[in-house]
């Protein structure tokens, strides 16, 4: 089940997820044509917490960028996003 959707909910992302996406958009000064995806995934790496949050930025023109935060999405804060997005290179860069 995709993050932000729950039983009985009408296919709408959670308010926290919307806030996180808007924070990413603001921090990276993204245009409206750039997609921002945030997903909570099970981490399979040794020593990794059981859940991690992946932030992906997919521009219409240019390479995709991705960052991983080693905590569940509902625990990710604006300060966490600032620390990761503004101080670390995207994965695969």
pLDDT at 11: 59
Among 14, 16, 12, residue whose Cα is nearest residue 77: 16
With a cut of 70, say whether residue 3 has pLDDT above it: no
Domain ranges in the chain are 33-87
Q: b/e string for 22-44 if b means 16 or more Cβ within 10 A?
A: ebbeeebebeeebebebebeebe
Strand order of the β-sheet with 51-58 is 35-42, 51-58, 65-69
pLDDT tens for each residue of 4-26: 444 444 556 789 999 999 999 99
pLDDT tens for each residue of 77-92: 999 999 999 998 888 6
pLDDT tens for each residue of 28-67: 999 999 999 999 999 787 887 899 999 999 999 889 999 9
Task: Report the half-sphere exposure of 55 (CA within 13 A, side-chain side).
Answer: 32
């Amino acid at each position: 089940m995709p993050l932000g959707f729950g039983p009985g909910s009408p296919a709408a992302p959670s308010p926290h997820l919307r806030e996180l996406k808007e924070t990413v958009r603001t921090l990276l000064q993204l245009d409206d044509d750039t997609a921002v995806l945030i997903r909570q995934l099970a981490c399979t790496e040794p020593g990794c917490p059981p859940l991690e949050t992946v932030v992906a930025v997919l521009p219409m023109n240019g390479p995709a960028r991705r960052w991983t935060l080693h905590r569940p999405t509902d625990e990710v804060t604006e300060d966490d996003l600032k620390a990761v997005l503004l101080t670390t290179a995207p994965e695969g860069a």
